[in-house]
Amino acid sequence: MWQKTKRATFLFVLVALLILSAAETGSAQPGVVTQKGTLPDGATFLIEVPANWNGTLFLYSHGYVVPGTPNPAMDVGDLATRFFMLASGFALAGSSYATTGWALQQALPDQIAVLDLFTQSVGKPTRTIAWGHSLGGMITAGLIQRYPDRFDAALPMCGVLSGGIATWNTALDSAFAFKTLLGAPGLQLVNIADPVGNLKLAEGLLAVAAGTPQGRARLSLVAALGDTPGWFTPLSPEPAPTDFADQQANQFLWASMVDFPFAFAFRAELEVRAQGNPSWNTGVDYRVQLEHSADAAEVRALYAQAGLDVDADLKMLNETARIGADPHATAYLQENITYNGEIHIPVLTMHTTGDGLVVVENERAYRQVVREKGNERFLRQTFVSRAGHCAFTPAETITAVQALLSRLDTGKWGLLDLTDLNNNAEALGPSFNIFPNPAGINVPVAPAFIKFKPAQYLRPFDADDRDRDDD
């Protein structure tokens, strides 16, 4: 069933799974001892230890795997980074997780099981660092929260750091606006019974809406309620701040290629896990949400050009019957996982500014909950000016690793000045300053670390929140 959604997720596969699949196809590196096997729950694992192991282990958590697609164990994000890490004496490990999809419940204990196996078969590391991409960034942050004594530092990259409830509530907001504004009575937002048919219906409505100025204006409002960026292709220049037509065209690509499968199909996998709908939009004022959105200016400009009244559409959204959550399902998603801000080891995050799957505002949500607990001294965040989900070069990833290791070695957050970051990445040379183009060919790319402050996350929810829907 899920195979039929691959067309819509092509760009997700191209950008995110290029990161993952490259590691699996890598040839053996001289002097590296490799262990592969299966955990008791059926998850597979991969451990690689170089002959010059320096005592540090990096535990890698991979991203979301679409149900029905291959799910190999991964221990690093890309081949070039793998070569650098092993050549530098670092051991690598990771598991596949026992299930695909929103696999937090299985991933957290599976990753700890790999750590236990490593200690038994190789030896106890002097330092253990958690790292991962996308859902794996979320798992990374979950590991250090749930098993704080097992890790010395963490590097969540392009992570879902707003937590599960916030993420799926935000997806519901955009889907709710899409259904309400585009007139789609048969479209299922929650309790999705036919994921493939539901996605097909949404995609058809999306294509029709994109054909008129009025439809494009309303699609911009849908995108704004999820803070979808107006920048899509990693190696393209960012549209000008007032080029609203180009921004909306890029948001359409995010919706059609990446986001709609999650909102209108993959949500069903989560609902099966949670045994119900974990999301709600009761009490949400969509007028306020638009005011806080990073895309507010675009929406108002496109509505004016289309001769539409944005306030009338916001009134319609606010007066349309809302969706309540199933409390037991909400409890499941809160457990898998919501953040409490209790970090007591160095954590360095990295995110592209033009990420339309896991929007950069996730970083703001995570920083806020960490700050509320008084632990901000342990957290630093870096940003890369590029479109795409997890669209980092190996040089940028390695530079972040080096900055985190420096913090462990010195006790101070050095090497995080923008000049240092970009110079250190450039110094790694042309073999690491690369990124695949759509044809899968690596092209030279300059380091793009940038000073950046994300807008606020529109629907935050952390472990201390008590305002969840109980209807």
What one-character-per-residue DSSP string does 288-324 give? HHHHH-TTHHHHHHHHHHHT--HHHHHHHHHHS---P
Do residues 197 and 252 share a domain?
yes
Q: Is the pLDDT of residue 5 over 60?
A: no
Average pLDDT over every residue of 396-405: 98
- pLDDT tens column, 272-325: 999 999 999 999 999 999 999 999 999 999 999 999 999 999 999 999 999 999
On the question of a cis peptide bond just before residue 434, with omega within 30 degrees of 0, the verdict is no
The rounded percent of the chain whose pLDDT value lies above 70 is: 93
Q: Does the residue 349 lie in any domain?
A: yes
User: For residue 3, what pLDDT is reported?
Assistant: 40
CA–CA dist 130, 152 (Å, integer) = 8
Do residues 296 and 182 share a domain?
yes
Domain final residue pick, 287, 311, 333 = 333
pTM of this structure: 0.94
Do residues 169 and 259 share a domain?
yes
Do residues 376 and 323 share a domain?
no
Q: Going by C-beta distance under 8 Å and a sequence separation of 6 or more, which residues neighbour residue 170?
A: 162, 225, 226, 227, 457, 458, 459
User: For residue 415, what pLDDT is reported?
Assistant: 85
What residues pair up with 58 in beta bridges, in sequence order?
92, 129
Q: Does the residue 461 lie in any domain?
A: no
CA–CA dist 166, 462 (Å, integer) = 8
Do residues 139 and 287 share a domain?
no
The values of phi and psi at residue 286, to 5°, are -70, -20
CA–CA dist 71, 100 (Å, integer) = 7
User: For residue 227, what pLDDT is reported?
Assistant: 98
DSSP strands (E only) in 118-216:
127-133, 153-157
State the virtual CA torsion across 198, 190, 336, 153 in degrees, nearest 10. Answer: 60
Domain of residue 395, CATH code: 3.40.50.1820
CA–CA dist 366, 160 (Å, integer) = 9
- pLDDT tens column, 144-175: 999 999 999 999 999 999 999 999 999 999 99
Measured in residues, the chain has a length of 471
Do residues 229 and 327 share a domain?
yes
Selected residue with higher pLDDT from 416 and 23: 416
Selected residue with higher pLDDT from 86 and 20: 86
Lateral strand order in the sheet of 91-95: 32-38, 44-50, 91-95, 56-61, 127-133, 153-157, 347-354, 379-387, 449-450
DSSP state of 205: H
Do residues 277 and 244 share a domain?
yes
Q: Going by C-beta distance under 8 Å and a sequence separation of 6 or more, which residues neighbour residue 29?
A: 48, 50, 82, 83, 86, 87
Q: Does the residue 205 lie in any domain?
A: yes
Q: Does the residue 115 lie in any domain?
A: yes
pLDDT classification of 184: cutoffs 50, 70, 90: confident
- pLDDT tens column, 334-383: 999 999 999 999 999 999 999 999 999 999 999 999 999 999 999 999 99
Domain final residue pick, 333, 363, 385 = 333
Among 327, 315, 370, smallest CA distance to 348 is for 370
Lookup: tokens for 98 = 């026992």
> How far from the centroid of its chain's Cα atoms is residue 54's Cα?
30
- Cα-Cα-Cα-Cα dihedral sign, residues 414, 395, 456, 329: negative
- pLDDT tens column, 198-257: 999 999 999 999 999 999 999 999 999 999 999 999 999 999 999 999 999 999 999 999
Residue 91 is inside which H or E element, if any? strand 91-95
Collapsed DSSP state (helix, strand, coil) of residue 191:
coil
> What per-residue string of b and e applies to 71-83 under the rule 16 or more CB within 10 Å gives b?
bbbbbbbbbbbbb
Do residues 72 and 83 share a domain?
yes
Do residues 200 and 327 share a domain?
yes
pLDDT classification of 440: cutoffs 50, 70, 90: confident
Range of the domain at 232: 164-333
Collapsed DSSP state (helix, strand, coil) of residue 343:
coil
Domain final residue pick, 303, 333, 363 = 333
State the pairing for strand pair 379-387/449-450: antiparallel
Q: Does the residue 359 lie in any domain?
A: yes
CA–CA dist 124, 112 (Å, integer) = 13
Q: Is there a contact between 267 and 200 (Cβ–Cβ < 8 Å)?
A: no
Q: Does the residue 471 lie in any domain?
A: no
* Domains in the chain, number: 2
Lookup: tokens for 443 = 């092209």
Q: Is the pLDDT of residue 12 over 60?
A: no
Do residues 262 and 383 share a domain?
no
Q: Does the residue 465 lie in any domain?
A: no
Do residues 344 and 329 share a domain?
no
User: For residue 27, what pLDDT is reported?
Assistant: 56
Tell me the Ramachandran region of residue 123: left when phi exceeds 0, alpha when psi lies from -120 to 50, beta otherwise.
left
Do residues 283 and 186 share a domain?
yes
Q: Does the residue 310 lie in any domain?
A: yes
